[in-house]
Structure 1
Amino acid sequence: MALLSATNLVKSYGGRKVVDQVSLEVHAGEIVGLLGPNGAGKTTSFRMMIGMITPENGRVLFDGEDVTFLPMYQHARRGMGYLAQEPSVFRGMTCEDNLLTILETLPIPKSEQQKRCGALLKQFHLEHKRTQLARTCSGGERRRLEIARSLITRPKLILLDEPFAAVDPHTVEDVQAEVRKLADSGIAILVTDHAVQQT
């Protein structure tokens, strides 16, 4: 059974259909790409799947449950992570604090928060940036920090919206390698991109 199943999603803005009958499935440990040029409706499709916006038609099932009309935070609680296309790091905070800010919302002891933070910084090769402000990160470091932050809740599925945007070619390879490792660990990945060769 698919972890995520979207069926016949439809969304219009101003009388213009931007998403028309989109259907897809993503299984645990699988990487699925949603490809197309800018303006093709990829981000709108993502936003319907994560509960940010409601489809006019269609259904979204997550882990066998109909989540079509549930709000975004309910999707997150069920194990769905989302990395937006737009930069989302807190630039005026350290890389460590970018992670701890989210970790502090979890019902776990402070020692476990610190442990998970350190493990994520190590996993994404950001230990050297631990105490530096996020604004000092390169495009690739910023993207890795955002992906690390999206893993804090230990999601079953991560939706990555244009994860290679504004990232240099060398870093694209690093991010691709990290995404493959996530899939190898059993996390389902749905990724959008407009550049087929990067995805």
Structure 2
Amino acid sequence: MGNGFQGDHSGMDGHVDQGGQYGRPRLVAEQTGLVVVQVGKSFRRRPVVRGVSLQVRRGEAVGLLGPNGAGKTTCFYMITGLIPVDTGSIFMDGHDITALPMYRRARLGIGYLPQEASIFRGLTVEQNIMAVAELVERDAQRRRQLVDDLLAEFAIEHLRRAPALALSGGERRRVEIARALATQPSFMLLDEPFAGIDPIAIGEIRKLVHHLKERGIGVLITDHNVRETLDIIDRAYIIHDGEVMTEGSPKDIVSNMDVRRVYLGEKFSL
């Protein structure tokens, strides 16, 4: 597990060695984990993200939080690969992935769970997971074992042949995460996991994030539900006006007077 973010990344020149269609990017830094270095983004010449740096280590959950319009969603989408980076770099275990498309990042070990339902509605639960397993495991026997293991791990064996449309919100989320884990990611990016779900499903998300951490997977979460997010993360970065205002544990975040002033409110408590 790598050291904390040090801020000195001289020598990270932003160069990407494409290495063929599925080649691995050139190793340009020794730091492990998912590391974002001074990324910036402008829309119509208006800066939205300005020099944001952060790190996610394996086995920890990190929040990317901030008020509406602060730039956190844009920053999150640059990390996923949905939005191209204007300036700065993104590294995974020292490999520069800044210019890689989303599918290449997925092959390297970055999973993404969007806010909207992403389940394949015309398939069963088993078929949903198998559809992704077929992309990463060529051996039929090992592929079958992978699917069976994921069904058991997420307690959805009894839903194996259930149509995706018949699932509850919590069941759907379990299937989506099980399917994402079929690619054996090192990091999982969760976009608004608490949006529009009931209290029972919120408990499911808590359990799932804890389970991902136990698996040694680094988790990055962005969500407007700050209370629920702070309850499950180890650290958070607060984005304000396109920049990192502060970074720290949930306790550090809640006790920061500047964060309370611009984001949490004076009366906020965990």
Which category of TM-score, normalised to the shorter sequence, fits these structures? over 0.9
Amino acid at match of 1:9: V
Q: Take 1:91 and 1:120, find their aligned partners in 2: how far apart are those partners?
A: 19
Tell which deviates more after alignment, 96-105 or 40-49. Answer: 40-49
Tell me which residue corresponds to 1:7.
Answer: 37
Q: Take 2:180 and 2:143, find their aligned partners in 1: how far apart are those partners?
A: 15
Amino acid at match of 2:222: T
Instruction: Give the count of matched residue pairs.
Output: 199
Tell me which residue corresponds to 1:133.
Answer: 163
Gaps in structure 2 of 5+ consecutive residues: 3-31, 230-270
2:227 counterpart of 1:197: yes
Change beyond 3 A, Cα 1:38–1:85: farther
Cα distance, 1:70 vs structure 2 = 1.5
Match of 1:179 among 209, 233, 237: 209
Q: Take 1:12 and 1:143, find their aligned partners in 2: how far apart are those partners?
A: 33
2:194 counterpart of 1:160: no
Q: Take 2:213 and 2:164, find their aligned partners in 1: how far apart are those partners?
A: 26
Cα distance, 1:53 vs structure 2 = 2.3
Tell which deviates more after alignment, 67-76 or 150-159. Answer: 67-76
Tell me which residue corresponds to 1:91.
Answer: 121
Gaps in structure 1 of 5+ consecutive residues: none
2:53 counterpart of 1:59: no
Q: Take 2:43 and 2:204, find their aligned partners in 1: how far apart are those partners?
A: 36
- C-alpha RMSD of matched pairs (Å): 1.6
- Could you tell me the percent identity over the aligned residues? 47
Q: Take 2:70 and 2:154, find their aligned partners in 1: how far apart are those partners?
A: 31
Question: TM-score, normalising length from structure 1?
Answer: 0.92
Amino acid at match of 2:149: A
Amino acid at match of 2:63: G
Question: TM-score, normalising length from structure 2?
Answer: 0.69
1:65-93 Cα deviation digits (max 9, x unpaired): 11111222221121111111221101111
Tell me which residue corresponds to 1:148.
Answer: 178
Cα distance, 1:180 vs structure 2 = 1.0
Cα distance, 1:40 vs structure 2 = 3.6
Change beyond 3 A, Cα 1:40–1:91: farther
Q: Which has the larger radius of gyration?
A: 2
2:137 touches 2:143 (CA, 8 Å); kept in 1?
A: no
Match of 1:46 among 76, 84, 97: 76
Q: Take 2:73 and 2:163, find their aligned partners in 1: how far apart are those partners?
A: 29
